[in-house]
Structure 1
């Protein structure tokens, strides 16, 4: 009989590429991961890993088993959802991940709704960049999370993770100079200093790609992740920036917002098979109610 915990390790190895990365993500030692994977090979009766020096890759049989592991793990999530649904409403801890602007704009109201409608639920919120969410969900560190992507930086398909759309925001150019709203508005910022998010985030990649599409690379002066701080820097004459609609509702004095043909899309992410878990359903309902009350929806 194949051990589900070992299957999870194999799935993570296929995703992360090295035993060290799997060990770090799941709080194991590398030797423990290696031992568990070797035990899985014995259980399977076929070679799942190919070792070349210090490198470990999956054999064709290993990749086949990973595909089955995805199905098994998703069905286990469904089983947990069915068992939880037999109780009197969602209860217990709900570990929520969210990026900072969503934490500020929407999470507090959603938590109030959850407290009113589901007092037995105990939400616990942690801020983290959307690029880290999929790993945290698969590792069991989170139950649900808010993630975002952009027209120019779509959310990549992630094994074992599903998403549902929540809301769409228009992006704006924040500057201290009036500009005409056109498809070529970014081209007028070729010689400007730019305020961008930190390297490695989707926000940073979005700004770089938007400027590249306009025919230039931005002159980066500051790297800041919090949009309220970004707008304060723009107001202080420190450069221009791209900001999403929800974060630009009340810009500082002197900041001019110019609408762009770019959108940011926020999604609810959870493990595959968990969409009908009562706690996930409750959180999704609370978030949708909050968004309807605070964000003008755009088609």
Structure 2
């Protein structure tokens, strides 16, 4: 019988490419990962791995087993969802991931709504960049997370992860000391998020689409800090609507751009019907501001 925990390790190896990366993603030691994969090969009775330098490649049998593993894990999530429906009331921990501007502007109201409807749920929020969400979901560190994509940085499908339709859509703004276009800021210093984040990729591609490579002066993830730096003449930046909560500082002009950021809820494949995941998604829908496509007060 194949061990499901070892199958998870094989699935992660297919995504990460090295045993060290799998160990880091799942908080194991590299030797423990190697031992478990060797045990899985013995269970399978055929070679699943072949080493090429520091990387480990999967054999055709290993790749085929990963495909079956994805289906098995999705069915297990579905089974877990059905069992949760059979219980009386929602209770226990719900591990939520969210990017910083949503954590500040949307998540608190959603948590209040969730607590009012399901007081037995213990929501626990962790700030995480969308680029790291898939690995955290597959590792079981999160149950549901908010992720976003930009017009210039569409989301790539992630094995083992499902997403909802967009929960809300935000316009993007050029933040500068005066109105203008992105192309007109080719000679200005730029303030961008840390490399490796979707926000950094979006700003870089927006500048490239305007015909130039930006000169990056500051690398800052918090949009409040970004706007404060723009206000004192330290550069220009691209900021989404949630990042402008409370309005810009004096001296900063926000010029709306024909670009958008869309936010979705992500969870493990097969978990869409889990009552806790569905409850959190419903709470999010109910608190999205009307200007971002949320429900309108008809009273």
> Normalising by the residue count of structure 2, what TM-score does the alignment of the two structures yield?
0.95
Distance verdict in 2 for CA 1:86–1:199, change over 3 Å = same
> Which residue pairs with 2:191 in the alignment?
195
Q: Does 1:152 align with 2:148?
A: no
1:86-97 matches, within 5 Å, as 86-97=86-97
- CA shift, 1:255, in A, is 1.2
1:120-140 CA-to-partner distances (Å, cap 9, x unmatched) read: 000000111111111110000
2:182 match: secondary structure: helix
Aligned to 1:13: 13
**1:273 has 2:247 as partner:** no
User: Contact between 2:161 and 2:269, CA under 8 Å: does it hold in 1?
Assistant: yes
SS at match of 1:93: strand
Hey, what does 2:79 align to over in structure 1?
79
CA contact (8 A) 1:246 1:295 kept: no
Whole-Å separation in 1 of the counterparts to 2:264 and 2:119: 25
1:130 and 2:130 aligned? yes
Distance in 2, matches of 1:9 and 1:148, equals 27
Distance in 2, Cα, partners of 1:8 & 1:40? 11
> Higher mean Cα deviation, 152-161 or 113-122?
152-161
In 1, the alpha carbon distance for the partners of 2:253 and 2:290 equals 22
Alpha carbons 2:147, 2:263 under 8 Å: kept: yes
Residue aligning to 1:182: none
Which of 227, 231, 236 is residue 227 of structure 2 equivalent to?
231
Residues 1:205 and 2:206 aligned together: no
- Structure 1 pair 261–46 and aligned structure 2 pair: CA distance change class (3 A): same
Between the aligned partners of 1:215 and 1:54, the Cα distance in structure 2 is: 39
Pairs aligned (count): 292
TM-score between both structures, scaled by the size of structure 1: 0.95
Offset at residue 264 of structure 1 (A): 0.7
Distance in 2 (alpha carbons) for counterparts of 1:53 and 1:145? 35
Aligned-pair CA distance for 1:90: 1.7
The residue number in structure 1 matching 2:141 is 141
With 53-62 and 138-147 compared, the bigger mean Cα shift is at: 53-62
CA 176–52 in structure 1, closer or farther in 2 if over 3 Å, else same:
closer
Aligned to 1:167: 168
How far did 1:222 drift? 1.1
Matched, 1:220 2:216: yes
Range moving further from structure 2, 218-227 or 110-119: 218-227
CA distance in 2, matches of 1:246, 1:36: 44
Shift of 1:51: 2.4
Q: CA–CA distance in 2 between the matches of 1:88 and 1:266?
A: 31
The SS at the match of 1:119 is: coil
The question of whether the paired residues in 1 share the 8 Å contact of 2:175 and 2:253 is answered with yes
Counterpart of 1:264 in structure 2 is 261
Name the stretch that deviates more: 246-255 or 84-93.
246-255
